[in-house]
Amino acid sequence: MLYRENGQFKTSYRADQQVFPIAQDRLAIWLLIAFAAIGVPLLVDEYLFRAILIPFLILSLAALGLNILVGYCGQISLGTGAFMAVGAYAAYNFVVRIDGMPVLAALLLGGLCATVVGVLFGIPSLRIKGLYLAVATLAAQFFVDWAFLRIKWFTNYSSSGSVSVANPDVFGIPIDTPHAKYLFCLAFLVVFALAAKNLVRSHIGREWMAIRDMDVAAAVIGIRPVYAKLTAFAVSSFIVGVAGALWGFVHLGSWEPAAFSIDRSFQLLFMIIIGGLGSIMGSFFGAAFIVMLPVFLNQALPALGGLIGVNIDTATIAHAELMIFGALIVFFLIVEPHGLARLWSIGKEKMRLWPFPH
Amino acid sequence: MKLKSLAISALVVGGGLFGAAHDALAQAKEQFFPSLVYRTGAYAPNGVPFANGYVDYLKLVNAKGGINGVKVSWEECETGYATDRGVECYERLKGKNGGATVFQPLSTGITFALTDKAPGDKIPLITAGYGRSESTDGNVFKWNFPLTGTYWDAADILVQHVGKKEGGLDKLKGKKIALVYHDSPYGKEPIPLLEERAKQLGFQLQLLPVTHPGVEQKATWLQIRQSRPDYVFLWGWGVMNSTALKEAVATGYPRDKMYGVWWAAAEPDVKDVGDGAKGYHGLALQHGAEPNSKVVKEVLELVHAKGQGTGPKEEVGQVLYMRGLVAAMLSVEGVKRAQERYGKGKWVSGEQARWGYENLALDQKKLDALGFAGVMRPISTSCADHRGASNARIHTWDGNKWSFTSDWIEADQSIIKPMIKSAADKYAAEKKITRRTPEDCQS
């Protein structure tokens, strides 16, 4: 009833091809962005900002980047953590080694370095596919871990191998409060999400999807696999690299290679599988699921125990958290193998017919 | 339809619980000690006794009437030794129950992350026997307290000890020492000092990293078998320690040439290896296993006998349990010291407690009164020295228990001090912070 496109006539190609063709969608997304930018900072306390929202935004960004590679171009990558690390360490080196380097520029240059590394490790994708490619990108993970642990130059000869940065400031505005950090990350996320959405709707995006669906057929109709695969690696690594730099600069402040370990790569891969491969929306759902659910369970279980008068000890909570989390992943994958984003779009379809489904 | 209603009800219940869990309960002013623990994961065997000791001491304080009448409260948060979860726990607990007094993360990685956050939140960090070595310099690291010693002290004491065994530090020339370390900031901390000492004394240093969690060390010990170092320093944690000892048995490397840092010298590390670990030495951070000390008897009597003990009774007095106990005692004593300035019997904020930690003066008389006679030596801190003590003993595993085999050894500050200064200056430059003024020190 509310969500229906009757009467919305499109009189130009432009109107027909916009990102959100339905007026209600457009309104909803504007409201959502406005709420995220204005409402959330007014409502939310510091804990939620620092411990949940900021990691959620940054990891959404990384998941978005990975989704371009895996979900749109079909190239499975286990090197996401590595590309994040490259972004973070490159940005760190730009800041330390060049006097007066603006942090914003350093973050983007960090992304560019990640692009270079990403393309380099993407070259094998021209010859190998599927799980074999996953193993090849795993090499990127191990190589980068090794490089940042062993090559002291990258960490500016820090004795413990851990690097730390001052709070960034952008155009003279210090990014030191949780609010500022949140808005800073949100701005990045909105810009990159919009860019990614438009990119996947463009000819490049269609090339990626053609390669994903069947690379031989795509080559036959004139798509160059080299170009399509390497651009996917480039765009994906750039976004992932910027996310890594944000993770280091904004969220952690000081980090060691363990912050971008193989676990991080798996975590991001799970995010997009659970959220929905080949869907921008899915990256957000997946990140929310993986970032927030464990923390939520960890806090809800003692409260639940308190309600029925049972004092659950810390170890039990930690075990239960892992078990419930695992069970939920299995549950969602059985209910909807195409990810949470698919559930979302089914919901939207139903809404369009509601309340007269027949 | 069923699924939908299920999902909706789950959301509603979940949302409600989240709110309930999250709302900090405003209570009467109790001194709140958050406790970041790891009772699960690869490091749990070592994390659990520490966590139990920490909480048991706080229970003991309450059983004896609190800190000059102020009751203490605590809450645990499971980090699993993971830095991101540790940061989440910190954010969750820092504002609860009127505000956290002090954090003790028991992880070098989490310490590094919290070092950046603590000054903004005005909450001190105690890293007793771990963390950044340069945080000894309180003029730069205003909120960090590596009480009772740092890794640089530990490494130096070990070098001095093996030097003594060889018959003098100069005899170390041409010898070979291998450092088997956990490949993380924790394991890398001692390297600069050992390199400095190697240069000065002319011994050869072999660095052998072991990746987390440390169950795969075959290659490492193959290298040791080839190069036959005169001594092996073990800088491990959790399951890595017992694995190293097992590999040493398999390789035939003599255990009495192996020296563990104070985190690699406790019961969980050697128990599984049993007789194989006989003769293995470790550093003792002030205390060793102290089942006969007065404070342990008090814990057994006032906490465990009343059925309020946190862990199994047998564990009370073991090395890591004692470390938790001492850590909690330091937390509480800092508050007591701060009360002397800000009002006896009053609740103190984290900022006020920081002054207490910076002006800690635990002399032998006070330690005796607390039941720590023979467990540790006096500690006094100041603005310039946030560490308070830099001496330790060696203890050796005889197959059943740890017993001391050396006298107190003092770390050589003529080497460490300049290193602390330059590392702290580097940190200050990176972070764009200036050294504290003498006036700030008084405040």
Which residues from chain A sit within 8 angstroms of residue B51, using beta carbons? 314
User: Does a cis peptide bond (omega within 30 degrees of 0) precede residue A257?
Assistant: no
DSSP at B345 = T
Beta bridge partners of B393: B284
- Assess whether B279 and B294 both reside in one domain: no
What is the CB-side half-sphere exposure of residue B418 using CA atoms within 13 A? 3
Helix (H) or strand (E) holding B232, with range, is strand B231-235
What is the least distance, in Å, from the CA of B95 to any CA of chain A? 9
Predicted local confidence at residue A129, as pLDDT: 85
| Amino acid residing at A148 | F
CA B345/CA A139 separation, integer angstroms: 60
In b/e form, how buried is each residue of B49-83, taking b as 16+ CB within 10 angstroms? bbbbbbbbbbbbbbeeeebeebbbbbbbbbbbbbb
| Amino acid residing at B204 | Q
Residues B109, A258: C-beta atoms closer than 8 Å: yes
Beta bridge partners of B404: B395
The Cβ of residue A221 has, within 10 Å, a number of other Cβ atoms equal to 7
Among B17, B88, B109, select the one facing A303 at the smallest CB separation. Answer: B17
- Assess whether B407 and B266 both reside in one domain: yes
State the virtual CA torsion across B65, B69, B70, B73 in degrees, nearest 10: 10
- Strand pairing category for B361-362 and A173-174: unpaired
Residues B83, A50: C-beta atoms closer than 8 Å: no
Which residues from chain B sit within 8 angstroms of residue A55, using beta carbons? 84
| CATH number for the domain that contains residue B134 | 3.40.50.2300
Which residues from chain A sit within 8 angstroms of residue B39, using beta carbons? 313-315, 318
CATH code of the region A23-353: 1.10.3470
Residue B10 in domain: no
What is the least distance, in Å, from the CA of B341 to any CA of chain A? 31
Q: What is the pTM of this model?
A: 0.87
Residues B185, A313: C-beta atoms closer than 8 Å: no
Sorted by sequence, the CB contacts under 8 Å of residue A352 that are 6+ apart come out as A3, A4, A5
- CB-CB contact of B299 with B56 (8 Å): yes
CA B157/CA B261 separation, integer angstroms: 10
- Assess whether B35 and B56 both reside in one domain: yes
Domain region containing B356: 27-150+290-390+422-442
**Token representation of residue B330:** 């330091």
In b/e form, how buried is each residue of B164-200, taking b as 16+ CB within 10 angstroms? ebbeebeebeebbbbbbbbbbbbbbbbbbbbebbbee
- What burial class does residue A351 get, using C-beta atoms within 10 Å of its C-beta: 0-12 exposed, 13-18 middle, 19+ buried? middle
**Token representation of residue B437:** 């003024």
Which residues from chain B sit within 8 angstroms of residue A258, using beta carbons? 83, 109, 184, 212
Task: Give how many domains chain B has, as a whole number.
Answer: 2
Residues A252, B185: C-beta atoms closer than 8 Å: no
What is the least distance, in Å, from the CA of A154 to any CA of chain B? 15
Q: How many CB pairs under 8 A join A and B?
A: 107
Rounded to 5 degrees, what angle do the CA atoms B238, B242, B247 make? 135
What is the least distance, in Å, from the CA of B76 to any CA of chain A? 7
CA B52/CA B303 separation, integer angstroms: 12
CA A244/CA A154 separation, integer angstroms: 15
- Assess whether B190 and B257 both reside in one domain: yes
Q: Which residues of chain A have pLDDT under 50?
A: none
Residue in A289, A288, A321 with CA at minimum distance from that of residue A302:
A321
What is the CB-side half-sphere exposure of residue A79 using CA atoms within 13 A? 35
**Token representation of residue B362:** 């635990």
Sorted by sequence, the CB contacts under 8 Å of residue B203 that are 6+ apart come out as B172, B173, B174, B175, B176, B177, B197
Predicted local confidence at residue B4, as pLDDT: 57
Give domain limits for chain A. Answer: 23-353
CA B292/CA A321 separation, integer angstroms: 39
Q: Closest residue of B to A168, CA-based?
A: B431
CA A88/CA B78 separation, integer angstroms: 27
Among B21, B109, B192, select the one facing A159 at the smallest CB separation. Answer: B192
| End-to-end Cα spacing for chain B | 65
CA B376/CA B367 separation, integer angstroms: 8
- Strand pairing category for B402-404 and B231-235: unpaired
Beta bridge partners of B396: B281, B403
Which residues from chain B sit within 8 angstroms of residue A315, using beta carbons? 39-40, 44, 48, 78
Sorted by sequence, the CB contacts under 8 Å of residue B125 that are 6+ apart come out as B102, B103, B104, B105, B111, B114, B115, B118, B131, B143, B144, B145
Which residues from chain A sit within 8 angstroms of residue B84, using beta carbons? 55, 259
Which residues from chain B sit within 8 angstroms of residue A254, using beta carbons? 112-113, 115-116
What is the least distance, in Å, from the CA of B207 to any CA of chain A? 11
Residues A160, B80: C-beta atoms closer than 8 Å: no
Predicted local confidence at residue A317, as pLDDT: 86
What is the least distance, in Å, from the CA of A198 to any CA of chain B? 33
Q: Which residues of chain B have pLDDT under 70?
A: 1-28, 443
Among B18, B95, B109, select the one facing A300 at the smallest CB separation. Answer: B18
Predicted local confidence at residue A358, as pLDDT: 66
- What burial class does residue B10 get, using C-beta atoms within 10 Å of its C-beta: 0-12 exposed, 13-18 middle, 19+ buried? exposed
Residues A159, B189: C-beta atoms closer than 8 Å: yes
What is the CB-side half-sphere exposure of residue A346 using CA atoms within 13 A? 11
Q: Mutation test of the interface with chain B: which of A44, A156, A254, choosing the one with the most B Cβ atoms within 10 A?
A: A254
3-state class of B125 per DSSP?
strand
Residue B367 in domain: yes
DSSP at A52 = I
Residues B112, A302: C-beta atoms closer than 8 Å: no
Q: Closest residue of A to B80, CA-based?
A: A318
Using one digit for the tens of pLDDT, what is the confidence trace for B366-421?
999 999 988 889 999 999 899 988 889 999 999 888 999 999 999 999 999 999 99
ipTM: 0.83
| End-to-end Cα spacing for chain A | 13
Predicted local confidence at residue B20, as pLDDT: 46
Which residues from chain A sit within 8 angstroms of residue B78, using beta carbons? 298, 314-315, 317-318
Residue B1 in domain: no
Residue B84 in domain: yes
| Amino acid residing at A255 | W
Using one digit for the tens of pLDDT, what is the confidence trace for B181-214?
998 888 989 999 999 999 999 999 999 999 888 8
| Amino acid residing at A265 | S
Residue B20 in domain: no
Residues B18, A296: C-beta atoms closer than 8 Å: yes
Residues A149, B88: C-beta atoms closer than 8 Å: no
What is the least distance, in Å, from the CA of B311 to any CA of chain A? 11
- Assess whether B408 and B273 both reside in one domain: yes
Predicted local confidence at residue B1, as pLDDT: 44
Q: Closest residue of B to A307, CA-based?
A: B17
**Token representation of residue B47:** 């994390």
- Assess whether B195 and B284 both reside in one domain: yes
Place of tokens 């590309």: A83
The Cβ of residue B422 has, within 10 Å, a number of other Cβ atoms equal to 12
- Strand pairing category for B176-182 and B204-210: parallel
